[in-house]
Structure 1
Amino acid sequence: MLKIPPHQVAGHKAGNGKLGPLVDESGRFYKPLQGDERGSNELKFYTSFSSDSRIPEHISKFFPTFFGTQLIEASDGSGLKPHLVLEDLSVGRDNPSIVDIKMGSRTWAPEASEEYIQKCLKKDRETSSLPLGFRLSGIQIYGNKESGYWKPERTSVQNLPAEEVKLILKRFVSSNTSTDMDMQPDCAFAATVYGGSTGILSQLLEMKAWFEDQTMYHFYSCSILIMFEKGLALEGQNPGGQIKLIDFAHVIEGRGVIDHNFLGGLCSLIKFISEILTAPSEHKSLVSSVNGVN
């Protein structure tokens, strides 16, 4: 039985006659294969990457498992359409807190059309992509059984300045419920989610070490998903913090050159996470642009 992903925070969403991804009960994620070069490019990447013996195992774990393609009924009612079949990254998680972070100060590949480049340039300039090297694409933060999720509109988090981005990343690991938007984030779970030998920061540093060396691919307009189980954190258990790299429609060959665009954004994100771990109590007041998305 196919259904709309309950924990999707960014990207094209199915429902109301719109084409979007679906999931099944077996833990597979069905992403519609776009009909232009973006679809063929993403399929090419997954096919190449999944069989590339040069990719070390400790790096391949950061990418969704690829199961090929399959014709299924599209979510918009348009009939059978080819879909990428991927690992459902939220499977097994009851109440995950998730943030989708689009990486790079430039989200367009050099081979893109002039029209597409101008469209991306406009968005990169109007959001935090240019100043920070990344932007928040979407987020959901689990509060508790009573409050449920805080899931603001994407546009309200995409163009936040540096201090407010850091504030959201603090709230992501706080015990404050999703309705307590006037309260300063307490960062109660920063150490257990971001810190530690297997925490988010450690995983980001592991990914960074590979990007400092790899010249096979340039990852334009890709996202890093950060996930953890708030419920487990509230119970004092391991929250299962995890990162995954997703969205590969604009990946191109590296041709022996380091991907400085992605690496720069990754270093910026690592700096933010490191500062939260080092001084979690330092913050500025929430501003109306964040308060207004309850």
Structure 2
Amino acid sequence: MAKTLPTRADLIDYQQAVAGHDGTLCDVDGELFIKPCTPAEIAFYESSNAAHQDFADFMPTFLGTLTLDEQQNGQTIDEAGAALIAKHTMPEVVVPTKPSKKIVTDQAVVLENAAHGYVKPNILDVKLGVRLWADDAHPDKKTRFNKVTEETTHKDLGFRIAGMRVWQGHNAVGKDIDAEGYKIFDKNYGRFSVQTANVNEAFRKFIFSESAGIDEELGKLVAQAFHTDVCRIQKVLEGQESRMFSASLLFVFEGDGVALRSAMEEASRSPATLQNGHGNASSEDDEDDELEDTGPKIYSVKVIDFAHAEWTPGMGPDENALTGVRSMARILQELGNA
């Protein structure tokens, strides 16, 4: 059943972002992620869903676009994903109260929120690439980003941790722990604290958390699930011809150990294996795509941030992004087998 349209007062700032631009919002239920973006990013979502479905499967579900216009107070919703849109609360208008300092646009993409449906979602943003700037970047930006590469894990591994949000358990307190019990690792963590020598330990902090009930057994299962899907993403990218500068891998998993174990046990009773983003996959063919998955969420891996992405026939695979993807696959394999 379709939900009614909320008023402007129902829109809220998105509180779970660990990296990226300001100005992101969500609907009151937290099911939709509304991101101001450029026409180029919208075009990449549209072309991916139209002609590159194997890659689109690892993108956040694209539901359409919104026009951010204080004068017209209007919206436009693409036909793509219309069946999914009908299931969610859609805002009448999205007008950020404080426009982002980094991106000036009157357009936004509407995506399914990858972090929705978890009891305590742990979230990690991994920025991909050795080279972070697109061909049309200003020389000052190229210089600035080259400095970031030289000083971080981008140089050796082709990625850096852009931000993490990790639940620490009930009643957790301490440095960098917010009111909900999440430890926040901001952009400076990946810039200045994580180096090639200690990068595995940084990912251990994301996946393993005894205080939240994520012990070695559960953590290894999470790492193995992540590894499987990162390898799938690697295979897709190796078979495509694209260029994506400063795209990211977004990792989400259930950070409450009790809820995670319960979700895994429920999934193990299903005749199907775990699927990216779901805890209980249907064994039936996709006879009814409009039915919502009601099983508890376990984990998700998505490729995000396509402001500088395009399909490039004739240019071969995106080895710049693949460097980071392969490094991530190796690290996750090591964590899952340790």
Same fold (TM over 0.5): yes
Could you state the TM-score of these two structures normalised by the residue count of structure 1?
A: 0.79
> Are positions 1:261 and 2:290 aligned together?
no
Distance 1:235 1:140 in 2: 16
Aligned with 2:58: secondary structure? coil
Distance 1:41 1:86 in 2: 16
Identity among equivalent positions (%) equals 28
Indicate the residue corresponding to 1:152 in structure 2. Answer: 185
Distance 2:45 2:196 in 1: 33
Checking the alignment, whether the CA contact within 8 Å between 1:30 and 1:83 is kept in structure 2 is: yes
Q: Deviations 1:20-67 (Å, cap 9, x if unpaired)?
A: 10000352111113xxxxx12112211211222x423xx422101222
Aligned with 2:98: secondary structure? coil
Q: Deviations 1:129-154 (Å, cap 9, x if unpaired)?
A: 11111000000111112111111232
Q: Deviations 1:75-127 (Å, cap 9, x if unpaired)?
A: 3179x943221221111122111110001111112232322211211111122
Could you state the TM-score of these two structures normalised by the residue count of structure 2?
A: 0.70
Indicate the residue corresponding to 1:169 in structure 2. Answer: 203
1:31 to 31, 35, 47: 35
Q: Which runs of 4+ in 1 moved over 3 A?
A: 185-188, 232-235
1:213 to 233, 239, 255: 239
Indicate the residue corresponding to 2:261 in structure 1. Answer: 236
Indicate the residue corresponding to 1:91 in structure 2. Answer: 116
Instruction: Specify every segment of 5 or more residues in structure 1 that has no aligned partner in the other structure, as ranges.
Output: 14-19, 34-38, 179-184, 280-294
Aligned with 2:122: secondary structure? strand
1:67-216 matches, within 5 Å, as: 67-70=63-66, 71=68, 72-76=94-98, 81-147=106-172, 148-159=181-192, 160-177=194-211, 187-195=216-224, 199-215=225-241
Shift in Å, 1:188: 4.4
Distance 1:232 1:61 in 2: 27
- Give the residue type in structure 2 aligned to 1:21: T
Aligned with 2:12: secondary structure? coil
Residue 171 to residue 187, structure 1, CA distance change in 2 (3 Å): farther
Question: Which of structures 1 and 2 has the bigger CA Rg?
Answer: 2
Indicate the residue corresponding to 1:49 in structure 2. Answer: 48
Q: CA RMSD in A?
A: 2.2
> Are positions 1:224 and 2:224 aligned together?
no
Shift in Å, 1:233: 5.1
Instruction: Specify every segment of 5 or more residues in structure 2 that has no aligned partner in the other structure, as ranges.
Output: 1-9, 69-93, 173-180, 265-296
Aligned with 1:177: secondary structure? helix
Shift in Å, 1:221: 0.4
